[in-house]
Amino acid sequence: MTQTEGWKEWADYWLGLQNFCERGCLACFATWFDIKYKRITDPKERLTFKPRKTIENPDKKYPGRVAFPNTHDITIQNYSQCEEYLIRLLKAGNQVLIVTKPDENIIRLLISALSEFKEQLEFRLSISTYDNEVLKKFEPNASDFEERVLCLKMLFMAGFETSVSAEYYLTRDVKGLIKRIYPYVTREIWVGIMNHFDQIVEYAPVIESLRELYSLETVLTIHSELERYFGHNYFTGKITIKYKDTFEAMVNKNNFFERNELIVNSLLVEKNGVGN
């Protein structure tokens, strides 16, 4: 599961079954949230079982899109509960977005269990880099790149709507990442930075090594590479890249200052004359 303040860009409701997750991703949004609201003091607390106080009703039709799961992933430990909950949500007529760092065995089970609900479903797989060493370091108990791509292919071949979240990306080479996955994506590829960076570094200092990845310079480089390479779709066919709110805000702010600088410069040229 990956989400930011911009989670409303993806769904109207985020539902889940548990407040812990064995994946142990270092920059987990749910961990940041629990620390911020003093539910835990050490991220390791989120690795162990804790019953959830309230679970939202899966048998009602929500007035908007539902994303699942929010504060955990779908793993072999909770698969049966997740499957049952998803089927109840789908039988109630909901449009559901499943957001996951996918395991092959889980995706095989979901394809078979949910095939009759294809029209109501989209799978959004979290694939933030093709570098397995980086994945192992920052998402220690999640699948490697090859397994995630295999899951994407399986869903695509089975006729499900698919999208990818590279938010937050864990590579400078987002273009190279997208080149490796786009043929199996039927909807969007989301690109975004890691939010709450300074707060996360306080309890996960190893994250500091990623700071440069989310600097203005890197964001602008990634943005211009993506626009240049995929903007015209000459070679790639239809591909939709979406920028998450905080990434887009950095690009827009820079464009605003650049535009203003251009206007000021051209006014100076007009006033002083070229060559003065």
The one among 23, 148, 223, 244 contacting ligand SF4 by CB under 6 A: 23
- How distant, in Å, are the alpha carbons of 120, 199, 204, 233 from that of 207? 37, 10, 6, 34
Task: Of 185, 86, 104, 109, give the one whose Cα is nearest residue 145.
Answer: 104
Contacts with ligand SF4 in 39-98 (CB under 6 A)?
71-73
Q: Show the tokens assigned to 67.
A: 């994303």
Are β-strands 96-100 and 66-68 bridged in parallel, bridged antiparallel, or unpaired? parallel
Q: Considering the complex, what minimum distance in angstroms separates the CB of residue 239 from ligand SF4? A: 25
Coarse DSSP helix, strand, coil percentages of the chain, rounded to the nearest 5 percent = 50, 10, 40
101 binds ligand SF4 (CB under 6 A): yes
Torsion-angle region of 196 (φ positive above 0: left; ψ -120 to 50: alpha; else: beta): left
Residue 130's alpha-carbon distances to 158, 174, 190, 226, in angstroms, are: 23, 9, 15, 17
> Based on CB atoms, which residue is closest to ligand SF4, 99 or 121?
99
- The answer to whether 28 contacts ligand SF4 (rule: CB under 6 A) is yes
Question: Which range touches ligand SF4 (CB under 6 A), out of 4-12, 25-33, 228-236, 249-257?
Answer: 25-33
Cβ-based nearer residue to ligand SF4, 19 or 229 = 19
1 makes contact with ligand SF4 (CB under 6 A) = yes
Find the shortest distance in angstroms from Cβ 30 to ligand SF4: 5
Question: Minimum Å distance from CB 24 to ligand SF4?
Answer: 6
Listing DSSP states for 176-200 in one string gives HHHHHHGGG-SSEEEEEPPSSHHHH
Beta carbon nearer to ligand SF4, 95 or 126 = 126
Q: Which is nearer to ligand SF4, 71 or 95 (CB)?
A: 71
Please tell me whether residue 148 binds ligand SF4 under the rule CB under 6 A: no
Shortest distance in whole angstroms from residue 89 CB to ligand SF4:
19
Interacting residues with ligand SF4 (CB under 6 A): 1-2, 21, 23-25, 28, 30, 71-73, 101
